[in-house]
Amino acid sequence: MQQRQLGNQGLVVSALGLGCMGMSFAYGQNDEKQALNTLARAFELGVDFLDSAEVYGPFTNESLLAKAIKGRSDIKVATKFGFRITDQGEGWQRITGVNSDPAHIRHAVEGSLQRLGVETIELLYQHRLDPAVPIEDVVGVMADLVREGKVKYLGLSEVSSATLRRAHAVHPISALQSEYSLWSRDPEQDVLATCSELNVGFVPYSPLGRGFLTGKFPAAATLAEDDFRRSLPRFQQGAQAHNQKLVNQLNEMARGYDATAAQLALAWVLAKGEFIVPIPGASKIAHLEQNCAAADLALRHADVATLDELFSEKNILGERYSDSEFVLVDR
């Protein structure tokens, strides 16, 4: 697996990372044995960059990864803090808002260190902006954690260019994580350019459109009751049927490369800049292997342009989040 650099502070990772949320959270039933087998295969394929968060589970995803990385020093795990998590309910029900109070940040990091079974977190993100706490204060605490040896590199998730600039002025930010894929193009407005200018790596989550861009996505109504995609606007029946027509064209183009739609979608993201490291999720080994093969797929410039136009915002029906979820996105 090729390597790419995130930021200029020394963080070098595999060109494709592995988003681990779906192994424990949000997408229905989870199989720990299957997840551990997939993680082991990822390491064999050269994937050394895993993405987690305290809220995934909550908490259980970090504990899962601890089992996979135990005894290894070559795997880089990114995790996130920033939500208020209660003891009531299950899954999403336990999340009651954001919290980046300095004391909470420290508490969250101590918890992540313990669950991951590591002495230092490779990459620590603020998961979502907390409007009650200035970003300068948040990054100030994160920078203290770097100086204390509890964290190596700093990141932010779903923030605007303006917020990134303010944060970067306090302490170098190595990576900005946001949703980015053929059908989620918001970062192209200015975030990607700002990352390039500041030498901040960009980590796209959901680069396969939460599975839709694989070309094999079922009707949303058939998903597990606790699969949160059932509530997303662009997965509703009318929007899904409209967007499927675009994926059909993606499938057709992929056949010209002797590739899958998923591989073409990932190759498109990788082609957008050497500072970009997508983190597609995969709970099954077959899907993981297909994704990793995309790192060696070089798209013709004309085809990149064709995909740019085919999946332009005007052609996508439905927002990527509901209004209540967009409240947490700094735009």
DSSP string for residues in 71-140: T-SS-EEEEEE-EEE-SSSSGGGGEEEE---HHHHHHHHHHHHHHHT-SSEEEEEE-S--TTS-HHHHHH
Quick check: is 257 catalytic? no
Question: What is the predicted pLDDT for the residue at 2?
Answer: 95
Question: What is the predicted pLDDT for the residue at 238?
Answer: 86
Question: What is the predicted pLDDT for the residue at 17?
Answer: 98
Question: Mean pLDDT per segment of 10 residues, for the chain of length 331 residues?
Answer: 97 98 77 95 98 95 97 97 87 83 97 98 97 98 98 98 98 98 96 98 96 82 73 83 94 97 98 98 94 97 97 91 72 77
What is the Cα–Cα distance from 174 to 199, expressed in whole angstroms? Answer: 8
Q: pTM of the prediction?
A: 0.94
What is the Cα–Cα distance from 134 to 136, expressed in whole angstroms? Answer: 5
126 DSSP β-pair partners = 81, 156
Other C-beta atoms closer than 10 Å to the C-beta of 284 total 14
Under 8 Å between Cβ of 20 and 56: yes
> Would you kindly state where each structural domain of the chain is located, as residue ranges?
3-326
Q: Positive or negative CA dihedral for 307, 308, 309, 314?
A: positive
From 27, 56, 205, 321, active-site residue: 56
Question: What is the predicted pLDDT for the residue at 202?
Answer: 98
What is the Cα–Cα distance from 40 to 32, expressed in whole angstroms? Answer: 12
Question: What is the predicted pLDDT for the residue at 68?
Answer: 98
Question: What is the predicted pLDDT for the residue at 26?
Answer: 61
State in words which class domain 3-326 has: alpha beta
